[in-house]
Structures are given as structure tokens and as C-alpha cells.
Amino acid sequence: MAYVDAEIASQPDCWRRAAELAAGVRADLPRCGERVAVVGCGTSWFMAMAYAALREQAGQGETDAFQASEFPAGRRYDRLVAITRSGTTTEVVDLLRALRGHVPTTVLVGDPETPAVRLADATVTLSFADERSVVQTRFATTALALLRAHLGENVETLAADAEVAVRAPLPIEPTRIEQVTFLGRGWTVGLAQEAALKCREAATFWAEAYPAMDYRHGPISIAAPGRLVWAFGTLPEGLVENVTATGAAFVHSRTHGCRTVLGSWAAGRTPVDPMADLILAQRFAVALATSRGLDPDAPRHLTRSVVLT
Ligand code: F1P
């Protein structure tokens, strides 16, 4: 069994631990009304995107997400939150160094003995969710679970959903698909980006991601029989019909159980929360890798952290 399989399966417990931790680290996390920037790279950036949208939706204050290298130096923020599993990613470390003494910073990190922790004003350590895998799964979702708990969400409900997602049959047989496009709206745009990244990283598979409303503005040209569209969260009206007309398969588990054109996934309980749905996409990516004869623990051209010299 690959490390990543065990890490994916441990997400329900990690989310519960994150919720317990959230209460004790409240002072280090964004307060209601603060103007906040959230940064990261790769997976961590996509979690930043999801959190930023959720925080604004919860009425907690203006929140922007940036890839760490694209942080707009001229803007004023009350706090910067950096998400980094490794704590060594160059763009994140450079930004924390540049903001030192100017903007209060908090880092959510997997490994506390790292440069990001030494540079940040406050640290939330999630070492219980750190991973052996290069391909991130549980650290990312656990960081987001902690931030969602801090927003007042009921993480126990999410964890119960995650229990379903780690066991449920996959919505579609990976060998039947030659391409996948993930879609989301609001906070699930970040999840869609993350799901596509998992397919690229773990399985070197052609995967794209878009805001669902933008899909009909060009990306739908890619849809065809043997290809898949997988949507997270709220579905735009008419999208299912538009995708189905192309002959592409369609997966969506949120509303009305599940729809899948090629499979028969609707039997049994399916995850409700999109973060649990992301677990299915993580498992799909690993299954894709295996079906292509690849080791998901040894992704091509990737290292656990990108440290630039
Ligand atoms: C960020 C990251 C990962 C990616 C790859 C390289 O790492 O970009 O998202 O999968 O492993 O590093 P981190 O800053 O969260 O440690």
C-alpha cells in the first residue's frame, strides 16, 4: 500500500484533531473584521483560495488568497496567514521575511523546525497531519478543517462525511477516462484546482480546473466521450445538460445524491460536504496512477518542497 493511501484514509481523524486544536489557537488566527491575506504554493495555495472564499462568505472580513510569489506588496492587510506543510517553500519563506515587522503573520505548518516558523509571528503546528508522501492530501485538508472550525463550522459533521468518502466506491472507473476537468463555485474553486493538481501530480494525468460558470466560455470544447467533468459544490443551472450533450461523463455528488453518466454510483450514501468530495478525487487520482502503472508515492519531477537556490 502506498503512503498516500494511508494518509488519505486518516483524514477523518485528522480533521477531528484539527477542530480540537482550533479552540486553543484562536488568538493566532484571523479575528472577525480583520483584512486578511492567505498565501501558499501549489496545494497550499488552493487551500488558501478555499479559506478566503469561506471567510468572506461567513461575513468575517475581506480575505484575499495569493500564490506566495504574487503577493501584492503595496496592499495593506491586518494579518497574513501562510499555509505550508514543509515550512521550507522558498516563495513562502521569502514573503514571511519581507513582511517581518510590518504585518502580523501566522503560519500553518506541518514541520515546526523550519524557516517559516522562525520567521512568522505565530505558528499553528499540524504535525499530526504531516505526511511522508510528496503528494499532499491530509495536511492540506486538515489545515482547511482547522480554519473552517475557526469560522464556526461543525467539523464533526465534515468528519462523518469524510468517513463515507474514504470508503465509498469511486464514482467512475479511472481506466475509462482519458481526461478530467474539475469545476467549482465560490470556495470550491480551490477544491477543484486541488483535485486537478492531484491527478497531475500522482498520475501525470491530463486534468484541468475552472470556476464552473466559466466552463462554458471555452473549456467545454475539451469535453468529449471518454472524458470527464467532475463538479464540486453548487451546480450552475443547465450545466449537466450542456456537458451531457458533449458525450462526456459527469460526476457530482453534492445535490440529489450522485449523478454519473458512465457509472452506477448513486447507490448508497455519498459525501455531502465538498471537502469530503475532494477525498474521492484524491482516491481517484491514486487509482489513476495505479491503473497507469505509476507509483503515486514517487511523482515525476516533484519533491516534497520546492526550495529554490
Ligand atoms: C507546497 C508544494 C506542494 C506540491 C509539491 C511542492 O508545499 O507546492 O503543494 O504538491 O510537493 O510543494 P508546502 O509549502 O505546503 O510545503
Of all protein residues, whose CA lies closest to atom 7 belonging to ligand 1?
305
Ligand 1 atom closest to residue 135's alpha carbon, by position in its atom list: 10
**Residues 277 and 173 reside in one and the same domain:** yes
Question: From ligand 1's centre to the CA of 302, what distance in Å?
Answer: 9
Q: Confirm or reject: Cβ of 36 under 6 Å from ligand 1.
A: no
**Residues 7 and 141 reside in one and the same domain:** yes
Of all protein residues, whose CA lies closest to atom 4 belonging to ligand 1?
42
**Residues 96 and 212 reside in one and the same domain:** no
Q: Domain boundary at 103, 128, 159, which?
A: 159
Whether the predicted pLDDT of 167 surpasses 70? yes
Mean pLDDT value across the chain: 93
| Alpha-carbon span 198 to 276, nearest angstrom | 15
Ligand 1 atom closest to residue 40's alpha carbon, by position in its atom list: 14
Q: Confirm or reject: Cβ of 304 under 6 Å from ligand 1.
A: yes
Q: Confirm or reject: Cβ of 188 under 6 Å from ligand 1.
A: no
Ligand 1 atom closest to residue 136's alpha carbon, by position in its atom list: 10
Q: Confirm or reject: Cβ of 42 under 6 Å from ligand 1.
A: yes
- In this prediction the pTM is 0.95
| Alpha-carbon span 151 to 15, nearest angstrom | 14
Report in angstroms the alpha-carbon separations of 308 from 92, 94, 303. Answer: 11, 11, 12
pLDDT at site 260 = 52
pLDDT at site 272 = 77
Whether the predicted pLDDT of 266 surpasses 90? no
**Residues 120 and 26 reside in one and the same domain:** yes
Q: What pLDDT, in 10s, does the model give residues 117-165?
A: 999 999 999 999 999 999 999 999 999 999 999 999 999 999 999 999 9
Going by pLDDT thresholds of 50, 70 and 90, the confidence category of residue 176 is confident
**Residues 181 and 155 reside in one and the same domain:** no
β-sheet bridge partners, residue 40? 67
Residue by residue, DSSP assigns 90-125 as: HHHHHHHHHHTTTS-EEEEES-SSSHHHHHSSEEEE
Find the domain containing 232 and state its range: 168-291
pLDDT at site 261 = 45
- The answer to whether residue 303 sits within a structural domain is no
